[in-house]
Chains A and B, each alone.
Chain A
Amino acid sequence: MFNNLFGNKKTAPRFVIAVNQVDKMIPNGWDHRLNMPTEMAEKEIKRRSQDIIKRLSQYTDLASDNIEYYSALQRYRLMPLLTKIVRNGYAGFKLDHIEPANPFDLAEPEVKAFAQQQMQERLKQQGNQQATNKDKIFEEMRQFLSEEELNIVLSKFKQERSRPPQVAIFGKAGVGKTTTINNLFNAQWKTSHTIVGTTKAQMKDFELNTGGKLKVVDLPGYGRSLAEDREYEEIYRQLIPSCDLVLLIVQANTRDFTDDQEMIIHIMEWLKEAPVPQR
């Protein structure tokens, strides 16, 4: 039962593919006034995304629910991406208080002001609805579970909650991993970072703007050269099973996916061997 509540491999594949840099999809395809793609660019982005989904889901049981496109640099579609991360991550509820960097900060001033005003109005209408959702779930559980069972659930919930979410950021060399971390989690680089073994993988602790902590496993990128890939494979094998989520980033304006397909086959194997994060 607890496996169902706290995510097993069926409910949470712990794997999201993120298609970055859609702002570079076509030349002159970015509207800087509104900070969003032009109509023409958006059409191409969608076609490309469809193609990527088709290619990357060929070798696994990936669904379109595991894939999202965005631009970290332009902060475009960070919210849909975060939603997929929460939905597919192990104990994704730990990521519920993250607010990605605001895309309208990059738009022209009058656009920004308009967006802000709209946002405030909407917030007023919604009230505090969101804050009470979690309590509601526990109230509902009370109807089905005994007091004792409910306490086990609550303590398990608290225990998992106290552990910062651990997310592996992965992808080919140069796809924009750092920009993604900073803008998606609206996170500030925290001074402590540990080099794992003698490798180049780094664990970074992030202090979130909205409070709380996030552990990011920054894996060395693959696909640069044969020698480097051979060197890194052992690192991947060791670290990936310990993560709540693997965020695999691909670059929208490249369309060679053999490297990614090969890596996805590996990742799925490693995650299947460890249906619950091994820490």
Chain B
Amino acid sequence: MEITVVVQGKTGAGKSSTNNKLFYLNLATDNAIACTKVPQIIYLDNSHYEHLNLPYKTVRVIDMPGIGEGIQEDKTYMPFYEEWIPQADSLVWVIQADTRAYKRDEIFLLKLAPLFKSSLFLTVALNKIDLLGTDEGEQPFDLELGQPSVAQLKRLPEKVEDLYNIFKGAIGNQICFEKHQIIPYTSEYGWGLAELKTKILTRK
């Protein structure tokens, strides 16, 4: 059995960084400018999933160019989305925690949801949890323990609730989507990555 994992989301949210950390890859990333211009197709070796007891022969991961880069770029990349989204068994939608603006995600979900396989499993990957609330003077990420501060963890349920409403509203009843499919993590410091990986590959 072959499965296809499509990694999608706004530009700069950390799709390529996340893939690099999850699957020990070396995709190009850049702090300042968008660099994934065409989909990158990666075949995983079975060391990533054999311990999970999954019946997969092949797992391929598609690292997509980001959405929302610009009016023109959104148009340019659309054929890539239309090509790959219908093939996705596991869709990873990467978003970043230190923003409140999710309209562009909503717009693309509305456009792409009709292309979903009915068996698609969606994971909302809530990246950059280390930056959650820090612009509002919250206690920052605990670098020593490598985990979010107490204040950040307290803020999290509210964030998840907000995201759930936005995403659920856009997807409708096309596929099943529950709150536990929103996974907070940080690709920079590693917290939450293991859970994200399990979710994406086991698809439950």
Contacts and interface: CB of A to CB of B under 8 A. Distances in A.
Interface of A: 21, 24-27, 44, 47-48, 51, 55, 58-59, 73, 172-174, 176, 179, 221-226, 228-229, 251, 253-259, 261-262
Contacts of B73: 258
B107 interface: yes
A256 to B, nearest CB: 3
Contact of B69 (A173, A251, A256): A256
A262 B68 CA distance: 11
Contacts of B100: 172-174, 221, 224
Given A173-B101, A256-B67, A258-B69, 19 more contacts: A24-B98, A24-B131, A24-B134, A25-B31, A47-B32, A48-B32, A51-B33, A58-B70, A174-B101, A226-B106, A251-B99, A253-B98, A254-B99, A255-B11, A256-B104, A258-B70, A258-B71, A261-B71, A262-B71
B32 to A, nearest CB: 4
Given A58-B72, A256-B10, A172 B31 contact: no
Contact of B71 (A26, A59, A174, A251): A59
B77 to A, nearest CB: 11
Contacts of A25: 31
B102 A224 contact: yes
12 contacts: A24-B134, A44-B31, A48-B33, A179-B135, A223-B101, A225-B169, A255-B33, A256-B67, A257-B68, A258-B73, A258-B104, A262-B71
* Most chain A CB neighbours (cut-off 10 Å) among B34, B100, B169: B100
A257 B134 CA distance: 22
B166 interface: yes
Interface string B30-66: 0111100000000000000000000000000000001
B174 to A, nearest CB: 17
Contact of B12 (A24, A221, A228, A256): A256
A58 B72 CA distance: 10
B99 A174 contact: yes
A256 B11 contact: yes
Contacts of A256: 10-12, 66-69, 104
Interface of B: 10-12, 31-34, 66-74, 96, 98-104, 106-107, 131, 134-135, 166, 169, 188
B34 A255 contact: yes
Contacts of A259: 68, 101, 103-104
Given A51-B33, A59-B71, A255-B11, A225 B135 contact: no
Nearest to A172: B101
B12 A255 contact: yes
A226 B71 contact: no
Contact of A229 (B68, B98, B103, B188): B103
A97 to B, nearest CB: 29
A44 B12 CA distance: 14
Contacts of A229: 103
Contacts of B68: 256-259
A261 B34 CA distance: 16
A262 B101 CA distance: 14
A179 B73 CA distance: 32
Nearest to B68: A256
Contact of A226 (B12, B33, B99, B107): B107
A219 to B, nearest CB: 14
Contacts of B107: 226
Contacts of A224: 100-103
B159 to A, nearest CB: 12
B137 to A, nearest CB: 9
Nearest to B130: A27
A214 to B, nearest CB: 23
Most chain B CB atoms below 10 A, which of A173, A223, A256, A257: A256
